[in-house]
Structure 1
Amino acid sequence: MKNLIPILLSACVAISACSNKKEKNTSIDKTVTIDSIQKASPIASKKMITDAYFKANGVEPFWNLTISDNMIKLKTLNGLDSILTPHVQPIYAQDSNVKMYNLQTELAEVRIQISQMECINAMSGKSFPYSVTVKYKKGKETEFTTLEGCGQYITNYRLHDIWALEELNGSKVAKEDFGKELPYIEINAAKNTFMGTSGCNRITGKLFSERERIRFINIASTEMLCTKGNKKEQEFTKALESTISYTIGNNRLTFLNPDKTLLVFKKVD
C-alpha cells in the first residue's frame, strides 16, 4: 500500500500537468495570427483565398493582389513577403468609380484604391480596365510603401452557359410571344462576351462585370422584320440593356435593376 501511494500521486500530477497544458494550448489558439495560420495550414489558407473576384499586379517591383469573398492577399517581391487579411467591404468614392479598402491587422496595415480607368502594364503593354494603388506597412514601420499597377474583375464562371428566357418583366413567356423562337443568350465568361437571339433577330455584345454587378454593352442586332413579336423583342432588348445586377440559383439566372426583376433565364442542359 505504501508503494502504491507515490504511484497514485505521480499519476495525479501527470494528469494535472496535461490538463494545464491543454488549457494553455486552447488560449494560444484564440490568438493565432493570420500569417501563422497560413504557415501552419497551407491547405486551409488556400481554401480561404480561392475564387478571387479581383486580381491586380505591378512591376518594378513585382507584386500581385487577389481579392476574394473571404480573404485579401498581397504578395510582394519574389513572393517572400505576403500579407493576408480578412475581406472587408470597400468604401465607394462619390461621383466616380473608385473603391477603397482600409485593412489593418496586428502585423500590417494596407490601403487599396481601385479606380476604373485604363491602365497599361509597363512590361507586357497589355491594357486593363482598372488602375490600382496599394500602400502598406508592416510591424513597426512608420512609413507606407506604395505600389502601382493594373487590375481586372474576374467574371463569375457560373455565368458561362446557355440560358433560355423564362420570364420577362414578371410575366412568363412562350415561343409564340416572339414569333420565331424563345430568346436565349450564351455567355462566355472568359472573354466577357455574349451571343444569342432576341426571338427573331440575332444579338451579340460584351459584358461589364464587377462581382455581383453586370452590364450588357455594345449590343448589336440583325434587322430582320418578323411578322409577330417585334414589340416583345424590343421589350426584351430594353430589359437586357437596363440590367445592373444578377443572382444565380436553382439553375436560374435572374437580372435586376436595382431590385426589380427584369429577366429570368433557365439553364439549358
Structure 2
Amino acid sequence: MKNTWIIFLVLFELMACSQQQRVSNHTPPMDYGEKGPAKYSDQLMTKLENGVDFVASGNEPFWYLEINFDKEILFKIAQSDTIRTSVPAGIRLQDVAATSYRVKTGSEILNIVIYDRPCDDSMTGKELPKTLEVSYGDKTYKGCGSYLSDYRLNDIWVLESINNNKIEIPAFPKGLPRLELNLTLSQVFAFAGCNEFSSSMEIQGKKLHFGRFSGTLMACPNMNFESVYLSRLANKTIPFRLEPGKLILQVSSDSTYNYKKVD
C-alpha cells in the first residue's frame, strides 16, 4: 500500500508540472499521541502558517481543495482545471448538518458542501473528521477533509482581562476563570469563577466553536458574571488570535476575552 501511494504521488506531480500548475498532494495530519496532539507534517504546518484553514481531497479523479477563509478557495482537479476564487459566506444546512460555500467562477458554479460527519480516506485508510462533496459544472467530486488546528491552542488559559479591563483577583476567591482546550478530545473544560463546566469544541481555522456547556450548579456571589461570561461562549463560533503566551477571543463585535497561558 505504501509503495502504491508513493508511485501515485510521483505520477500526480509529473502531471501537475506538465500543466505549469503545481498543487501539493494532500497529506493528512499526524495521529494524536498520548501526550496530546502532535504537530502536523511540515507540509501542513507550512499551509497553516500561510493562513490555510481547511484541506480536503478525493479520488477518481484525484482532486485537492484548500480554503483560507480570509482570502481564497483553491480547487484543483488532476489533468484538468485549477480554480481560485474568493470565499463566499457559508450557508448552514441544518437538515443535513453541513455547511455550503457556493460561488460563481467564470461561467460555472463551484459549490463546496462540508458535512459534519467522519469520512474514511481511501488513500490513507485513515478517518478524517469531515465528508466533502464538491460540485463544479456538471460534475460532483467526493472526498474527505479536515480543518487545520493550531496545536498551540492545546493548553490552559486563564482570563486576564475583558476588553483590556484587567480582572480583579479579589472578586474571584476560588480562582480566576479559565479554559482548558483539549484538541485530543475535542473538548473544552471551563471554570467560570464558581462552577466547573465542559463542552464539545471544534477548531474551524481561525475560529473556535463551543457546544452547549454543562456543569456544576453551586451558588456564589459572582453568579451574574458567570452567567454573562458563559453566555458569550456557549453554542457560539468565535474568532480567535494567538499572540506569544496570549489567547484573544472576539466574543462579539465590540468585546474580547483576553487569556494568558498557564505553564
The verdict on a shared fold, with TM-score over 0.5 as the criterion, is yes
Q: Which has the higher helix share?
A: 1
- TM-score under structure 1 length normalisation: 0.61
Task: Give the deviation of 1:37 after TM superposition.
Answer: 7.2
- Once residues 170 and 179 of structure 2 are traced to their aligned partners in structure 1, the CA distance between those partners, rounded to angstroms, is 18
Contact 1:168 1:236 in 2 (8 A): no
Counterpart of 1:152, as a letter, is S
For each residue in 1:122-150, what CA deviation from the matched residue of structure 2 results, as whole angstroms up to 9, or x when unmatched?
A: 866957445321538xxxxxxx6531123
- Once residues 176 and 82 of structure 1 are traced to their aligned partners in structure 2, the CA distance between those partners, rounded to angstroms, is 64
- TM-score under structure 2 length normalisation: 0.62
Q: Which residue of 2 aligns with 1:132?
A: 133
Task: Give the deviation of 1:90 after TM superposition.
Answer: 1.3
Contact 2:119 2:131 in 1 (8 A): no
Alignment pair present for 1:237 and 2:237:
no
Where 2:212 maps in the other structure, the secondary structure is: strand
Alignment pair present for 1:99 and 2:101:
yes
- Once residues 174 and 189 of structure 2 are traced to their aligned partners in structure 1, the CA distance between those partners, rounded to angstroms, is 17
Q: Which residue of 2 aligns with 1:111?
A: 110
Relative to 1, partners in 2 of residues 1:130 and 1:170: Cα closer, same or farther, differing over 3 Å?
Answer: farther
- Once residues 121 and 246 of structure 2 are traced to their aligned partners in structure 1, the CA distance between those partners, rounded to angstroms, is 41
Cα root mean square deviation, aligned: 3.9
Q: Which residue of 1 aligns with 2:65?
A: 65
Relative to 1, partners in 2 of residues 1:220 and 1:65: Cα closer, same or farther, differing over 3 Å?
Answer: same
Higher relative contact order (CA 8 A, sep 6+): 2
Q: Which runs of 5+ in 2 are unaligned?
A: 1-16, 24-42, 94-98
Task: Give the deviation of 1:166 after TM superposition.
Answer: 0.9
Contact 2:118 2:129 in 1 (8 A): yes
- Once residues 221 and 174 of structure 1 are traced to their aligned partners in structure 2, the CA distance between those partners, rounded to angstroms, is 24
- Once residues 158 and 127 of structure 1 are traced to their aligned partners in structure 2, the CA distance between those partners, rounded to angstroms, is 21
- Once residues 267 and 112 of structure 1 are traced to their aligned partners in structure 2, the CA distance between those partners, rounded to angstroms, is 39
Relative to 1, partners in 2 of residues 1:243 and 1:38: Cα closer, same or farther, differing over 3 Å?
Answer: closer
Q: Work out the number of aligned pairs and report it.
A: 214
Counterpart of 2:246, as a letter, is R
Alignment pair present for 1:162 and 2:156:
yes
Alignment of 1:161-240 (within 5 A): 161-168=155-162, 171-226=165-220, 228-240=221-233
Task: Give the deviation of 1:173 after TM superposition.
Answer: 1.0
Identity over aligned pairs, percent: 23
Where 2:152 maps in the other structure, the secondary structure is: helix
- Considering only CA atoms, is the larger Rg found in Structure 1 or Structure 2? 1
Relative to 1, partners in 2 of residues 1:231 and 1:262: Cα closer, same or farther, differing over 3 Å?
Answer: same
Relative to 1, partners in 2 of residues 1:230 and 1:34: Cα closer, same or farther, differing over 3 Å?
Answer: farther
Q: Which runs of 5+ in 1 are unaligned?
A: 1-32, 40-45, 137-143
